[in-house]
Amino acid sequence: MKNLVNDYFLNHITEDSISQYISQKYFYDFSRSYNQQVTICDKNDFLFISSAEVETNCWSFFNNLIESYCKVSHDDNLCFLNYGPGDSGYLAILNIEKRNTHDTIKVFVELTPKFFTKDLGLPDLLIDRDVLKEPALGEYSYAIFNNGILIQRVGKYFYNFDINHYSNPVTKISFFNKNNYNHLVYKADDSRILIISKKNKSFFDIIAPFSYFFIFYSLLIFTVIITIRLLGGSFKYHYNFRHRLQFSMTLVLLLTFVVMGIFTLQYISNLNSKKNDDILNEKTHSILNELQNKIIDKDFLTESDEYYLGDLLVTYSNIFYTDINLFSLDGTLLASSRQQIFKEKLISKKMNPQAFMKLSLENYSFYIQNEHIGNQHFLSAYIPFINYQNRVIAYLNLPYFAKEKDLQREISSFIVTYINIYILLIVFSILLAVLISNYISQPIKLIMKKISDIKLSGNNEKIEWKRDDELGQLIASYNSMIDQLAISAELLAQSERESAWREMARQIAHEIKNPLTPMKLTIQHLQHAWNSQAPDWDKRLQKFTKTMIEQIDTLSIIASEFSSFAKISHDKKEDINLLEVIQSSINLFSSAENISIVLKTNFEELWIEADKTQIIRAFNNLIKNAYQAIGLRDDGKIIIELLANTENCIIKIRDNGLGISPELTDKIFKPYFTTKSSGLGLGLAIVKSIIIDMGGQITYVSDAGVGTTFTITLPLKKNS
């Protein structure tokens, strides 16, 4: 080094030669990251400062620089220069004596950092793991202004060159919004200003957490349901037509979401791969052309060309934003723009065997393949380097990392946006499915209601539908069924009436025939006594008269009961307090000494709409049956209990009589059925007819030898 400096002062070599020597000898590994400036001067030399257009003493200039900005490191001849935010460097000072005069010569080596681009992938392999743990700052941009002029910009935001465009800040820290970005302004000192910018959140960025919560809880609910089903449990949930329609619409959208997502991701990946191949192809040929302009006249390349080739590769690497390697014909590394990767032994200095075989043995003119270092995958392009004699003298290699990260960011951004959009669509589709399913199912619900309201007796309403569609055909079938039902009901009613009259005529004939037979025999005996002038004629006449009166009374009772059964009518409906009716019936039967009647209720009044005569008749028949079932036992008891809810009143009449045997259960309400020796068996038939015509129900529970309980349910008067 001393010899070189002395030769410089003897004008034997240039300053550039010394700078190149220092760079290759001492700072070769830092040439990518730092710019190098070498200044050689003695105490009498002057420097011209072009930025200030002044001339100053060389040593004084650097001494002022050291005093103002230098922080001395462990070596007194090396210091760190801190000019302010985002601007720093290193200064090395070498003191050398002249051979003849022994005067001191100083060599000042300035190292200023180059802008580090994240587009190059290999530097990530050289970053400490602790550094990688720092949060990603890719969404931020920043700019440094010196004396109001932009001197450095990093990120996607494009800053104006003049700080006045943003209004010169007064306070040390301030904020403002511009061009959909939020900006932080940091005033470091009177001359330097730092602006940090971040894009404002979009609508989808704001709703993204809600989308993730929706997906999380949906998956959680689905998992719980599947788990319960696998464990043998079940959900008691009725899936009707409307729910199935809603579920189907949502399921179709979800399937579309998954299928479109998969195909779109595949398309993006294929498109990105093709784009990367095209870009890598273009970069490789561009760098090849640049290198050929420099070294095409070489007959061959050796390891002695390492430094020169290394400088070229570093220069083109910074221009084309990619790493560059050059291999000899035997596959050994000649030079690289990223020597540290090979020095750290992260990559072998031998060319990839597959690529070497393709180029050297199979004579490929261009070859791209996927390679990896550890878990980091990347594309790698290989192309032969041909000299002026059209001979291959080396193999050029470009490992391409940048677009691999772009793909990850692109896919990540797409997935976030895709999920947010589709979650909104799913929510909207669920709401739309509810509306559409309700609209579509409305006619079906109407048909269901009309079908449930169909009665054999009464006027069944048809449905009006003007559209000629599938529902119209269904409704037309329903209306046709109503017409057929009306005809069938009329025929059935006529048949039932004829059958009832035939049965009634048969029963009347049977009941009338029973007393006529003894009446006929009595008259025949009386006639015989008259013809034979029997001495006890008066006695026989008196007996005859008594028998005839009894039989005529029986015929009168038969006629009255049939007349009552035939005259059940509810044309005279009125508002009735049910408690008064029941109390009236209780008073009618309260004279029996062996039977007690108890009324239990918490109500003072219960109002119904009914024919008062018929409802009194129904309760009289029920209490009378209870009396007859108890008979002459001394501890007879009849308990009447009244209950009510919002729509109906419930009357329970319980006795401790003989009860009803199980084999008679199906016959108890049929006309003409009786278990007593007298009567026509019309009492309970009349009661059931009265209750049903009022819109109520009557049931009973009986235990032979223990007693019977009749339960009547009647609708309460509306708004009572």
Beta bridge partners of 671: none
In a domain, 222, yes or no: no
In a domain, 229, yes or no: no
Tell me, letter by letter, the H, E, C secondary structure of 79-103.
EEEEEECCEEEEEEEEEEECCCCCC
Residue 173 carries which DSSP code?
Answer: E
| Cα separation, 34 vs 324, whole angstroms | 18
Closest CA to 77 of 66, 93, 65: 93
Do 177 and 34 share a domain, yes or no?
no
Do 449 and 495 share a domain, yes or no?
no
CB atoms within 10 A of CB 546: 11
Report phi then psi at 598, rounded to 5.
-120, 130
pLDDT confidence tier of residue 118, bands split at 50, 70 and 90: very low
Q: Is the pLDDT of residue 296 over 80?
A: yes
Contact 406, 394 (CB under 8 A): no
Q: Is the pLDDT of residue 442 over 70?
A: yes
In a domain, 218, yes or no: no
* Boundary (domain end) residue, out of 58, 88, 113: 113
* Boundary (domain end) residue, out of 547, 565, 583: 565
Which residues, at least 6 apart from 672, have a Cβ–Cβ distance to it below 8 Å? 507, 680, 681, 682, 685
What is the CATH number for 172? 3.40.1840
Do 26 and 162 share a domain, yes or no?
no
In a domain, 232, yes or no: no
Do 321 and 340 share a domain, yes or no?
yes
Tokens 């640049």 sit at which residue?
290
* Boundary (domain end) residue, out of 453, 482, 501: 453
Average pLDDT over residues 79-91: 77
In the chain, % of residues over pLDDT 90 = 14
Give the β-pairing of 607-611 and 34-41: unpaired
Angle between helices 683-693 and 537-566 (to 10 degrees): 20
Contact 32, 337 (CB under 8 A): yes
Write down the pTM of the prediction: 0.46
Average pLDDT over residues 488-503: 76
What pLDDT score does 571 carry?
A: 57
- CA torsion sign for 372, 376, 378, 380 is negative
When comparing pLDDT for 11 and 57, which is higher?
57
In a domain, 213, yes or no: no
pLDDT confidence tier of residue 324, bands split at 50, 70 and 90: very high
What pLDDT score does 117 carry?
A: 47
| Cα separation, 319 vs 317, whole angstroms | 5
| Cα separation, 697 vs 153, whole angstroms | 90
Give the β-pairing of 636-644 and 595-600: parallel
In a domain, 343, yes or no: yes
Q: Give me the amino acid identity at 343.
A: K
Contact 91, 66 (CB under 8 A): yes
When comparing pLDDT for 266 and 471, which is higher?
266
Q: Is the pLDDT of residue 222 over 80?
A: no
Q: Is the pLDDT of residue 621 over 60?
A: yes
State the alpha helices, DSSP H only, in 231-348. Answer: 241-295, 306-320, 339-343
Structural Rg of the chain based on CA atoms: 56
What pLDDT score does 356 carry?
A: 94
Do 434 and 477 share a domain, yes or no?
no
Instruction: Pull the structure tokens for residue 288.
Output: 């090849």
pLDDT in tens, 642-659: 999 888 999 999 999 888
Do 264 and 394 share a domain, yes or no?
yes
pLDDT in tens, 152-184: 888 888 898 888 888 767 788 888 888 889 999
CA separation (Å) from 368 to 348, 356, 697?
18, 12, 89
Instruction: Pull the structure tokens for residue 376.
Output: 């980091």
Do 408 and 304 share a domain, yes or no?
yes
What pLDDT score does 303 carry?
A: 76
Q: Is the pLDDT of residue 19 over 80?
A: no
Instruction: Pull the structure tokens for residue 59.
Output: 């040593």
In a domain, 210, yes or no: no
Do 576 and 502 share a domain, yes or no?
no
Do 491 and 442 share a domain, yes or no?
no
Instruction: Pull the structure tokens for residue 105.
Output: 């010569």
What is the CATH number for 577? 3.30.565.10
Average pLDDT over residues 669-694: 67
Contact 96, 1 (CB under 8 A): yes
What pLDDT score does 393 carry?
A: 92
What pLDDT score does 680 carry?
A: 46
333-347, 560-574, 598-612: segment of lowest average pLDDT: 560-574
Q: Is the pLDDT of residue 133 over 60?
A: no
Tokens 């398309």 sit at which residue?
267
What pLDDT score does 166 carry?
A: 81
Do 524 and 634 share a domain, yes or no?
no
Do 311 and 374 share a domain, yes or no?
yes
What does pLDDT average to over the chain?
79
pLDDT confidence tier of residue 574, bands split at 50, 70 and 90: confident
13-17, 91-95, 641-645: segment of lowest average pLDDT: 13-17
What is the CATH number for 385? 3.30.450.20
What pLDDT score does 359 carry?
A: 94
In terms of residue numbers, what domain contains 139? 122-200
Q: For the chain, what is the domain count?
A: 5
Beta bridge partners of 702: 708
In a domain, 594, yes or no: yes
pLDDT confidence tier of residue 639, bands split at 50, 70 and 90: very high
Q: Is the pLDDT of residue 308 over 90?
A: no
Average pLDDT over residues 665-678: 60
Do 144 and 102 share a domain, yes or no?
no
Q: Is the pLDDT of residue 672 over 70?
A: no
| Cα separation, 39 vs 37, whole angstroms | 7
Burial of 600 (0-12, 13-18, 19+ CB in 10 A): exposed
| Cα separation, 10 vs 382, whole angstroms | 47
Q: Is the pLDDT of residue 626 over 60?
A: yes
Contact 23, 36 (CB under 8 A): yes
